[in-house]
Each structure stands twice: as structure tokens, then as C-alpha cells.
Amino acid sequence: MPPPNALQLLQSIFGYEQFRGRQADIVSHVANGGDALVLMPTGGGKSLCYQIPALMRDGCAVVVSPLIALMQDQVEGLHQLGIDAAFLNSTQTLDETRDVERRFMSGSLKLLYVAPERLLTPRFMGLMESGPVSLFAIDEAHCVSQWGHDFRPEYIGLSVLHERFPTVPRIALTATADALTRAEIVKRLALENAAEFVSSFDRPNIRYRIVEKDNARKQLLDFIEREHDGDVGIVYCLSRKRVEDTAQFLCDNGITALPYHAGLSSDVRARNQTRFLREDGIVMVATIAFGMGIDKPDVRFVAHIDLPKSLEGYYQETGRAGRDGLPSNAWLAYGLNDVMQLKEMIENGQAPEAQKQVERQKLSAMLGLAETVACRRQTILAYFGETSAPCGNCDNCLSPPKTWDATEAARKALSCVFRTGQRFGAGHIIDVLLGKRTDKVEMHLHDQVSTFGIGKDMPEAAWRSVLRQLLAGGYLQTEPEFGGLQLTDLARPLLRGELSVQLRGLPEKKRERAERGQKRSAASLDIAPADDALWQALRSKRRALADAQAVPAYLIFSDATLKAMLDAKPATLAEMAHISGVGAQKLERYGLEFLDVLHAS
């Protein structure tokens, strides 16, 4: 039986009409004192799953979060809703700490955020033993997993919570899905008796697109200018150098871009992260060091200009787009060199063979996604064990790629690899196919081999695409030492003519160009031209209110809420109260100001 006031709290405090997905079940389970393990994709709405039980139960919820830098914004978000919340971490003075402890003991605090190392100190343990703890929420619970990439040793110690506080309910939350990690969370946090709530991992508002790379930076700039002028976005790159270069390139072209990678000093990283969170329209160019715990709801695009190493990584990174549920883009540019480079990195790496094997499998799943002609979303969800229908919101659904019978071309390419001795890279193989007399060709007498010039009927780009797909499909592999191309066992039946292959068609330059000028793709907020001035006015009102309090704009109202205001144009405070995201506190604090903006003329 759901506790009677959960929905009422959702509506009055948060201003949302109804629970999403499994939120209602989770809230009532935890509010009734049950333990829970919650797996929900980024943007699914995990926070409410412990925030509402925290409001329903007596005492204070202790929220374990690994990200000190982000606690302040989380707490500020709760203050904006009129909820008494605080955090404890190493950045505070003794006086501040004492004040928080006092509010905790008095029972006035409803939520307290702490880093795990702080939680486990004798002082804090003692405090919790004598004070009113309503529940424990363990955010980013996958940090307990030693196999995951976010491992935090302090998380291991959290098993003590169950021993010391056996009657306090615990809720662990994560967006990382795989079975191994899940089992590890259960074991290490002693959640054997917890109810598991696993949501669909689909993010329907994200449009997935994977394009063939020719000049990644130029393509990226086109993409941003064409579809995301002034929007917030994240661009992921593989190396620090590429982060620096790309950020500079975007800045040179008038886009406010900031770099973020582990090689920058912690000051610079913190400053760039804060600017990304607080200012409008910043593009963060980053390695995968950036992103965990970034709650910014209005990230409109995530672009990858290098191929990620695994589908898990790709999905987690792209998941940072569109947390607010509004249309967003995940855009990836990918080419032959990416495949070569990542394969080489695995083979030349120091990892033991067993781990290399895992890395190869992960890369191969990622390549499968990049090359598929089927629905991207279906392919991704299938990888995570979900079945679904074609989505209608990915590149392959929207304009189904043409395939062609590439058996003949594949045989030419494979036999050219074979004739030249299986030790040369793609560039040289293509030169031989095209019959180019380069120095290297002449030095190795490759103008004498039978495959010299047999590929003149197709342009270089076509051959790159063929080689890339043969590599991705496992007909070719890279040789460990110098990264030269070699045939695999799969190649033999193809060479012997026993097998045919269908490959993805070549990119159509024309079509891309036709799209240009149409401005915004479907993945945008869809503001009618007549409304544009009003939209800008709403945004600048939000900006002014946020600046006055030195908080991020999205903590005042999210884009989704502003858009709902723009569409409904409420005329009174009573009507304003019906806008999704306008709760009692925000109605009182900001309602009139936004009504004034809506009816200024």
C-alpha cells in the first residue's frame, strides 16, 4: 500500500504531476523501511527515489555521494524547493561543520550529503548513533565495484552501515547495468535482502547518429553550428592533446569551449567544471575523466570525435545528454583510423591476455554498433539485454542506409593485403589498390604484384570504408608489432568466393549538404519563431535570478519547465502552479516575476 502522502509531496514540493516508471514503487518500499537496489539510466529520476522517502520518514536521510565538488549544487537544489538539507565535506570550516551537526541532532535537517570517507570517521559514526537517521542512500553505488572504472576504495567500508544500523533502510542507486557489477554491489553492501528495481535503459529523447569521419573537427563544427548554436554540450576525445586542440579550434571559431582532462591542475578543472555548470551555452571538451555525477539537465548534445572503447562507456557518456527529457543528440564521428588505433592500443597494451580478450570483445560490440544498418537503439538495448522495436529516432531509422554487394571489392582488398605480405597499414594497401607509384610502393616492388591498380574503379574514400568494415567485421586484424593488416580465418571463405558480403553504402555528401540551412534538427526545443523573443526573455529572467544567488540557472527552473511556461502561457499564479516543475516554494519565490515576463506587452 503506497503511503498516502508520496504523490502529494511530489506535486506540492517538486511540482511534478506524477511519478515516472518505477519511482512510485521504490518510494513506497523505502518509505516503509525496506532496502532497495535501484538501477535506472541517467536522467531516469533516481534522486526522487530517496528524497521523497526522506521527507516522509522521521529524522534525516544520510546520502553518500562520491563527488564533493557537486554536493553544494545538489543541496542548493533542495533549498530552492524549501527543503532543509546540508552537506559535510573537507571544504568546510569547523564552525560550518558544527552548525550542520547541530541541525542534524535537532532533527530539523531532512537530507545530509556526505562523502564516504567522512561518513566512516568515528566522529560521524558516533553522531549517527546518537542522532535520528531516517535512511541511507548510497548514490553511484557502482563505485563499490573493483571491476568498474569508477572504483572508490572508501565505498568498500560502507558494509559497516548494515552492521551498525540494522534497522535503518538503505537504498543503493546506480546507472551502470551489467550483471557482474550488480552482483558485486549486492555482496559488498550486504543488500542480499533488498528489493531490486531495474528500469528500462532506454532514453527515448536521445537521437543517436554515427557518421563517417573525414575531417572530425570540421564535421564537429558543422554539427554544432547547424544544430546546436548556443547550446550546452559535451565533446569527448580520446587523448589530452586532442582535447586541448579541439577546444582551441572551437574557440577560434566563436564557440565557448573549455578543456577538461586529468592532466590539468585541479584548480583549472574545478574552475572549468563550475563554469560549465553555471554559465549558459558552454561546450566542454573532455576525456572520459569528465562527467560522472554531473546533474546538469540541459545538456543538449554529446559528441564523440573518437570512437569509445566500449558500448558501456559510449552509453554512459551519451546518457549525459537530455536528462530533462527534452530532445537531445548523441553524435559520433568514426573512421578507419579509429579502428586501427584502438585495436593497436589493445594489442600493444600491458594487460594480461585474459583482460585483452575482454577488451577485444568490448571493442567489437562498439564496432558492431558503429557499422550496423539496423536501428541503433535496438542494437544498444539488445546489448544490455532488452528487446525493443526499431525506434524511429536514430540515423538508421530516419534514413535507412543503403547497402551494396561488396563481395568483389572485399576480395580485391583482402588479396591485396595477402599479396603485399600482411604487414602494411591501410594507407599503403589503398595506394597499391589505386595503382599509385609512391616511394614505398616502388621500394617494396609492390607495383609488380597482381593487385597493383585493380581498385582504380573506386575512389580512395570507398576503399577506406571497405577496409574499415572488413576490420570491424573481423575479416582483417591488426598485427601487434607495427599495426599492419593481416587476414583472419574469416577471410578465407570470402577470398575463395564461398561467402558474399553486404557493406554499408558510402556517405552521401549531397544529402548532408541538403540538410544544411534547415537549421535545427528535430533534436531541438522547437521554439516557434514568433515565440523566440519571449523564450529569450524567460531565459534572461532565469539567468538574473540565478546570478543574484550565485547558483546554476537550472536550479531556478529547468529548460523543460521554462518550455512548459512558454507553451501554456499561464495567466495567473493558480495556472502557473500547474506547470511541471513549479512547486509551492518556487511558485512563491518566482511565480510573479515569470508572470510579468510572460505578459510584459
* Per CB under 6 A, 324 contacts ligand ADP: yes
Q: Does 45 bind ligand ADP (CB under 6 A)?
A: yes
Sequence-separated (6 or more) residues with CB below 8 Å from residue 254: none
Q: Which is nearer to Zn ion, 385 or 421 (CB)?
A: 385
Which of 438, 443, 468 is closest to 453 using CA atoms?
A: 438
| Adjacent-strand bridge partners of 64 | 114, 138
If you write DSSP's letter for every residue of 313-380 in order, what string do you get? HHHHHHTTS-TTSS-EEEEEEE-HHHHHHHHHHHHHS-S-HHHHHHHHHHHHHHHHHHH-SS-HHHHH
Any idea how long the chain is? 601
Query: From ligand ADP, Zn ion, none, which one binds at residue 391 (CB under 5 to 8 Å depending on kind)?
Result: Zn ion
Question: What is the rounded distance in angstroms from the CA atom of residue 109 to the CA atom of residue 470?
Answer: 60
Q: In whole angstroms, how close is the CB of 395 to Zn ion at the nearest point?
A: 8
What phi and psi, each to the nearest 5 degrees, are found at residue 172? -105, 135
**Would you say 334 and 344 are in contact if contact means Cβ atoms under 8 Å apart?**
no
Asked if 397 touches Zn ion (CB under 5 A), the answer is: yes
DSSP code for 363: H
- Residue 273: closest CA among 72, 4, 16, 408: 72
Round to whole Å and give the CA distance between 298 and 561: 11
Q: Which stretch binds Zn ion (CB under 5 A): 372-380, 401-409, 418-426, 470-478?
A: 372-380
Distances (CA, A) of 278 to 273, 346, 555, 561, 593: 9, 38, 10, 18, 21
Q: Which of these ranges, 43-51, 119-127, 148-156, 562-570, lies near ligand ADP under the rule CB under 6 A?
A: 43-51
CB of 17 to ligand ADP, least distance (A): 7
**46 contacts ligand ADP (rule: CB under 6 A):** yes
Binding Zn ion by CB under 5 A: which of 118, 261, 278, 377?
Answer: 377
The option from ligand ADP, Zn ion, none interacting with 375 (CB < 5 to 8 A, set by class) reads Zn ion
Residue number, 7 or 345, with CB nearest to ligand ADP: 7
CB of 563 to ligand ADP, least distance (A): 13
42 binds, among ligand ADP, Zn ion, none (CB under 5 to 8 A by kind): ligand ADP
Q: Which of 24, 394, 462, 534 binds Zn ion (CB under 5 A)?
A: 394
Which is it for strands 502-504 and 403-405: parallel, antiparallel or unpaired? Answer: antiparallel
Which of these segments, 14-22, 59-67, 451-459, 472-480, binds ligand ADP (CB under 6 A)? 14-22
Q: What is the DSSP letter of 17?
A: S
How far apart are the two ends of the chain, measured CA to CA in Å?
50
DSSP state of 282: P
Cβ density class 343-365: b for 16+ within 10 Å, e for less = bbebbeeeeeeeeeeebbebbeb
Comparison of 26 and 494: residue with beta carbon closer to ligand ADP:
26
Q: Is position 391 an interface residue for Zn ion (rule: CB under 5 A)?
A: yes
Separation CA 601–CA 530 (nearest Å): 14
The answer to the question of residue 16 lying near ligand ADP (CB under 6 A) is yes
Q: Is 260 in the site for ligand ADP (CB under 6 A)?
A: no
**DSSP H or E run through 575:** helix 573-576
Residue 44 in contact with ligand ADP, rule: CB under 6 A: yes
Indicate which of ligand ADP, Zn ion, none lies near residue 19 (CB less than 5 to 8 Å, by partner kind): ligand ADP
Which of 24, 255 has the CB closer to ligand ADP? Answer: 24
Contacts 24+ apart (CB under 8 A), 434-443: 434/460, 434/463
**What would the x/- binding string for ligand ADP be over residues 544 to 583, using CB under 6 A?**
--------------x---------------------x---
Binders of ligand ADP: how many residues, by CB under 6 A?
A: 18
Q: Judged by CB under 6 A, which stretch of 41-49, 191-199, 217-225, 496-504 contacts ligand ADP?
A: 41-49
Q: Which of 28, 47, 176, 465 binds ligand ADP (CB under 6 A)?
A: 47
Burial class (CB in 10 A: 0-12, 13-18, 19+), 98: exposed
Residue nearest to ligand ADP (CB): 45
Q: Check residue 295 for interaction with ligand ADP (CB under 6 A).
A: yes
103 CB-near residues (< 8 Å, 6+ apart): 84, 86, 109
| Span near ligand ADP by CB under 6 A; candidates 12-20, 163-171, 201-209, 237-245 | 12-20
CB 113 within 8 A of CB 71: yes
Residue 330 binds to Zn ion (criterion: CB under 5 A):
no
Beta strand pairing call for 60-64 and 111-114: parallel
397 binds, among Zn ion, ligand ADP, none (CB under 5 to 8 A by kind): Zn ion
CA triplet 164, 170, 176: central angle to 5 degrees?
A: 125
Smaller CB distance to Zn ion: residue 397 or 597?
Answer: 397
What amino acid occupies position 229?
D
The window from 38-46, 85-93, 127-135, 591-599 that contacts ligand ADP (CB under 6 A) reads: 38-46
Window contacting ligand ADP (CB under 6 A); options: 35-43, 335-343, 464-472, 496-504: 35-43
Q: Is 43 in the site for ligand ADP (CB under 6 A)?
A: yes
Q: Is position 346 an interface residue for Zn ion (rule: CB under 5 A)?
A: no
**What is the x/- site pattern for ligand ADP, positions 338-367, by CB under 6 A?**
------------------------------
Q: Is residue 209 within the footprint of Zn ion (CB under 5 A)?
A: no
When the beta carbons of 213 and 323 are compared against ligand ADP, the nearer one is 323
- Output the smallest distance, CB 394 to Zn ion, in A: 3
Could you list the beta-strand ranges (E) of 469-581.
476-478, 485-487, 502-504
Taking the CA atoms of residue 250, residue 253, residue 255 and residue 258 in that order, the dihedral angle to the nearest 10 degrees is: 30
d(CA 97, CA 103): 10
| Stretch of 234-242, 335-343, 377-385, 507-515 contacting Zn ion, by CB under 5 A | 377-385
Show the CA angle centred on residue 248, arms to residues 244 and 251, nearest 5°. 145
- For the record, the C-alpha cell of 535 comes out as 523564450
Residues in contact with ligand ADP by CB under 6 A are 16, 19-20, 23, 40, 42-48, 295, 297, 323-324, 558, 580
Residues in contact with Zn ion by CB under 5 A are 375, 377, 391, 394, 397
